[in-house]
Amino acid sequence: MSLSKLKVKGVKLTDETGKAVQLRGISTLGLRYPEYITEESFKTFRDEWGANTIRLAMYTDEPGGYCTDGNKEELKQLMLKGVKIATGLDMYVIVDWHILYDKTPMLYKDEAARFFDEISKKLADHTNVIYEICNEPQESPFGEVIRPYAEEIIPVIRKHDKDSMIIVGTNNWSQDVDDVIGQKCSDENVMYALHFYASTHQDKYLEKAKKALSGNVPLFISECSICDASGDGVIDYEMGKRWIDFADENDISYIVWNLSNKDESSSLIRPEVKTLSCWKDEEYSDTAKWFKKIMSDKKDS
């Protein structure tokens, strides 16, 4: 069974019939933990959490990054492996060009164009693939930097794939979503990345999200957690619930960061746990337990 192609209609993500769709899923911590990119792991999130999406985050600028000293062929094969597994499980999958330390998407724009040209050609027949073309730009005003970058990269994808949904990052670690008002990309099947870490991103950021939505900007929460913005620190359950309530009330998709057993608050697996799937409750972090309850309660909706 192939999944419905997703289409942006107004501020909503919809299926082929025009019905609103909310994706809920899990993001890998880069591709640095390849042991979790397995059918058993993804199936656990699908069946036990109700996840319908996997985000494959491929760092571009870090030790082992795609544009630094990483092995490009190995990283592409790992990405394609993840897509194949998700496809076999009837899950949506996000191919994420995970800029972070590079700050501006323009730094490796030519590499991005080559990557998306190759990967979209290979995946052109998939109905479940979403392309995220710049994870968390910084010091990159939307109109002056991000939009021009997107207007170059999106046609590269469209050359092979005419109608897959594309996510475009926003400035300030994908929080300045209100800057997109009045200057969206020309391609209509695009959503704009909103990231939150509940302990850091409080009312001010939630108001920016509401402003963007009221300004006709379609939002996709392609990364979130309930700790602070470092991916660690204190958990804020109350603010986390306010963010998820906002997402649910507006059919906004959200992806939880991150699938690893790294010793930090946002990691879903406890650091001492070596199990790679079918985890027991005590093997999950506090963050994972909270999101599992939130997501599993929604899994049949």
Nearest partner of 102 among 138, 56, 57, 154, judged by Cα: 138
SS3 state of residue 264:
coil
The helix (run of H) or strand (run of E) holding residue 195 is strand 190-197
What distance in Å separates the CA atoms of residue 189 and residue 129, rounded to the nearest whole number? 13
- Burial call 207-231: b when 16+ CB within 10 Å, e when fewer: ebbeebbeeebbbbbbbbbbbbbeb
Of the residues 136, 188, 238, 264, only one is catalytic, namely 136
DSSP state of 284: B
- Give the bridge partners for 7, in sequence order: 14
Residues counted in the chain: 301
What distance in Å separates the CA atoms of residue 162 and residue 159, rounded to the nearest whole number? 7
Q: Is 223 a catalytic residue?
A: yes
**Residues 245, 219, 289, CA angle at the centre, nearest 5°?**
40
Structure tokens at 224: 């979130």
16: phi then psi, degrees, rounded to nearest 5: -70, -20
The helix (run of H) or strand (run of E) holding residue 43 is helix 39-44
Of the residues 40, 223, 264, 283, only one is catalytic, namely 223
Task: Tell me which amino acid residue 129 is.
Answer: V
What distance in Å separates the CA atoms of residue 59 and residue 50, rounded to the nearest whole number? 26
What distance in Å separates the CA atoms of residue 284 and residue 292, rounded to the nearest whole number? 9
By annotation, the residues acting in catalysis are: 136, 223
